[in-house]
Amino acid sequence: MYGWTGKLLHVDLTSGTCERREIPTEILHAYLGGRGLGVRLMRDYFRLDPFDPQMPLIFAVGPLCGTNSPTAARLACVSRSPLTGTIYDCSAGGRFAWRLKGAGLDVVFVTGKSATPVVLAIDGDRAEILAAGELWGKGVKETVAALKGRGSVTAIGPAGENGVLFANIMMGEGNSIGRGGLGAVMGGKLLKAVTVQGEGVTGVADRERFDAARADVMRLFRASPVIFGELGIAEYGTPALVDLMAQRRMAPTENFKSTFFAQSANYSGPAIRKECGAKKEGCYGCPIQCKKASAKGEPLPEYETVNHFGALNGISDLHAIVRANTLCNELGLDTISAAATLSAFGEARGRFPDPVEVDRLLTDMAFRRGDGELLCQGSRRVAEALGKPGLSMSVKSLELPAYDPRGAYGMALAYVTSNRGGCHLRAYPISHEILRKPVPTDRFSFSGKARIIKIAEDVNAAVDSLVACKFAFFGATLEEYGELLSAVTGVEYGPESLKAIGERIYLTERFYNCANGFSMKDDLLPERFYSEPGSAGEGIEIPPLDRARFQEELQKYYRIRGLSPDGTFDDASLLEKLP
């Protein structure tokens, strides 16, 4: 077999066993890898409570991983989110995915719960469960450093150990499996870290075709101002968006009360470069290298993080923001949810935290002490506990990232249709509504957006299963990645067949969610966006969203998806009809 290894490592932490199993080829062809494969493997488990010992935690790479397909050294981590209660997946880069593939694996499937803290160590064909000993309780840096000799490391920090609902799993090289609290799922299993070493190579079916497709992808990267332009993400990382979102009046500020922060230039891409001496870093083998690190090698914050520790909390000091980012990485906290939860907390009590208080509260969150005991549950639960449920700026309990939905109507719709809650990356309409890729759409119009969002969700579900990076698609399309995939695997794929796979994955996820009680009542934006305007300026008005028009477009979306007007499935046997 080319591309895939066809192997799954089944790890049962309760019995302490590791076993290599075969993955049926039919399943690989139909779900590719990464998110799709992980979601498929959840079929028998999606109803379990996220903290049920039997709940799987799945790490899945894709068929392109291990080849030099641009941006493909990634994996997806899949489970059920304790924060949102939805099916959950997150794509992450770094070196770990590459090593996992090198160990001859497409999937690591972790189930059960250990009696004492452990580390899962994979080295080529061998896998063993080791006592974590001293490592439990340690920060991410120290844990990674202690395990370095065992290869690539992914680990949780105190936040994951203590069950913080938005705890990340941190990849050793500064990447993270973020947002939905899969770090808490890992902590619940008393699994402190996974290490992996592997030197195997991924077979490529047609080398010449592969080289041609790769050249096509690279040409499109160079032609994309967002990727390789002099103001693009290769130069400035995602903070390149700071100035743009300020100009477009859609940078969430003070818990989304306004959409413009006058001091945002303090943490813009150029400011970070100047102040922190940012240099390029990135995922293994990725030609874009969009991550930035300080001169000392410290990972620097992404766009979402600078906005949320900045504007969203009314903080203008870049160094305070960088510190908060570093602290989150060390504790294993998701930066977006942590900052947004602090912001909701701040508005509820009438005062946003200052930088010093931010540091203290983040630490309290991770260790669940003082205010942290409440804050560790995320903004929805915090706002409800404080009697102000309207102040949680979240969808399905997932805190919204740094694109105000009043400034991009496709984004508004995509936040509610996302299967993992308020996330920008599912349909990623910012790509066309703001960044004009592949073509521009009118950000203040709902026209056509239901169909566009549906298509984009399908495309991105396929992308997350390849697994490739979303940023690659600011230049390339499924046309070129379909070529890469066909060349690698020897199985023919094109944009339409990949979108069909994406649709299958999306519907499976939505089906799981509906089976767990989700429906139209959860496809909801916070009230604020329908009643309060954002900040006007530079000739741009940001009026509240038109609720009727929004609902109309949501109904269109359900029809296009083949769902009932309630957003659910009429056909209870959907899964049985899928491979």
Partner 1 sequence: MRDQIDKYIGKLLADRSAIPGAIAIAAQDDVLIAQGSPELAKLAGDTLSRLNSLALVAARPSLPFAEFLIARAGKGETFILPQDTETRTFLHDIPFLRREDLAGDPAPELARLLGSRKGVIVEGVGIIAVGAITVEQAFINYSSVFHSTFVKYLQDLLTDGFKLPGEREAFESFRKQWLKPLSAEGLEFVDAISLDKEEILLEIERVGRYTVERGLVDSFFGNISACAGDLIYISQTAASLDELKGCIDPVPTDNSSTTGITASSELLAHRKIFEETGARVILHGHPKFAVIMSMLCDKKKECAIKDCWKECPHVRDLGGTPVVAGEIGAGGLAKRVPPVIGASGSAIVYGHGVFTLGRDGFGEAFRTMVEVENFCREEYFRLLKA
Lookup: tokens for 218 = 């690279």
**Helices (H), ranges, 148-268:** 158-161, 182-188, 207-223, 225-228, 233-236, 241-247
In the range 287-326, which residues lie near ligand SF4 by CB under 6 A? 288-291
Helix (H, G, I), strand (E, B) or coil at 35: helix
340 touching ligand SF4, by CB under 6 A: no
Question: Of these partners, partner 1, ligand SF4, none, which one is at the site of residue 348 (CB under 5 to 8 Å by kind)?
Answer: none
Pick between residue 34 and residue 407 the one whose CB is nearest to ligand SF4.
Answer: 34
Q: Collect contacts of 445-448 with beta carbons under 8 A, ≥24 apart.
A: 445/409, 446/409, 446/413, 446/549, 446/550, 446/552, 446/553
Pick between residue 540 and residue 574 the one whose CB is nearest to partner 1.
Answer: 540
Helix (H, G, I), strand (E, B) or coil at 299: strand
Q: In whole angstroms, how close is the CB of 93 to ligand SF4 at the nearest point?
A: 4
224 touching partner 1, by CB under 8 A: yes
Angle at the Cα of 487 (from 483 to 489), degrees rounded to 5?
Answer: 115
Site string for partner 1, 406-435 (x = CB under 8 A): --------------------------x-xx
Question: Of these partners, ligand SF4, partner 1, none, which one is at the site of residue 224 (CB under 5 to 8 Å by kind)?
Answer: partner 1
Query: Which of 225, 355, 389, 490 is in the footprint of partner 1 by CB under 8 A?
Result: 225
Summary count for the chain: helices (H), strands (E): 25, 16
In the range 52-71, which residues lie near ligand SF4 by CB under 6 A? 71
**Helices (H), ranges, 386-448:** 409-417, 430-433
Cα–Cα distance measured from residue 30 to residue 460, given in angstroms and rounded to the nearest whole number: 15
Burial 162-182 (b: 16+ CB within 10 A, else e): bbbbbbbbbbbbbbbbbbbbb
3-state percent helix, strand, coil for the chain, nearest multiple of 5:
45, 15, 40
Question: Of these partners, partner 1, ligand SF4, none, which one is at the site of residue 370 (CB under 5 to 8 Å by kind)?
Answer: none
Strands (E), 4-102: 7-12, 17-22, 57-61, 75-80, 87-92
Pick between residue 95 and residue 380 the one whose CB is nearest to ligand SF4.
Answer: 95
Pick between residue 232 and residue 405 the one whose CB is nearest to ligand SF4.
Answer: 232
Pick between residue 289 and residue 519 the one whose CB is nearest to ligand SF4.
Answer: 289
217 touching ligand SF4, by CB under 6 A: no
Strands 279-281 and 126-131: unpaired
559 touching partner 1, by CB under 8 A: yes
Question: Of these partners, partner 1, ligand SF4, none, which one is at the site of residue 95 (CB under 5 to 8 Å by kind)?
Answer: none
Helix (H, G, I), strand (E, B) or coil at 478: helix
Helix (H, G, I), strand (E, B) or coil at 425: coil
Cα–Cα distance measured from residue 9 to residue 21, given in angstroms and rounded to the nearest whole number: 6
Cα–Cα distance measured from residue 133 to residue 563, given in angstroms and rounded to the nearest whole number: 50
Question: Of these partners, ligand SF4, partner 1, none, which one is at the site of residue 380 (CB under 5 to 8 Å by kind)?
Answer: none
Query: Which of 205, 425, 500, 575 is in the footprint of partner 1 by CB under 8 A?
Result: 500
Listing DSSP states for 525-541 in one string gives --THHHHS----BTTB-
138 touching partner 1, by CB under 8 A: no
Count of residues that bind partner 1 according to CB under 8 A: 57
Of the candidate spans 45-53, 237-245, 293-301, 321-329, the one that interacts with partner 1 by CB under 8 A turns out to be 237-245
In the range 252-281, which residues lie near partner 1 by CB under 8 A? 265, 268-270
Strands 152-155 and 169-171: antiparallel
Which of these, 103, 31, 38, 30, lies nearest to 65 by C-alpha position? 103
Query: Which of 242, 339, 344, 411 is in the footprint of partner 1 by CB under 8 A?
Result: 242
Query: Which of 90, 283, 416, 488 is in the footprint of ligand SF4 by CB under 6 A?
Result: 283
In the range 447-476, which residues lie near ligand SF4 by CB under 6 A? 469, 471
Query: Which of 63, 188, 282, 407 is in the footprint of ligand SF4 by CB under 6 A?
Result: 282
The contact set with partner 1 (CB under 8 A) reads 216, 219-226, 228-232, 236, 240-244, 246-247, 265, 268-270, 432, 434-441, 447-448, 450-452, 455-456, 458, 477, 479, 482, 494-497, 499-500, 503, 556-557, 559-560
The contact set with ligand SF4 (CB under 6 A) reads 71, 93, 282-283, 286, 288-291, 469, 471
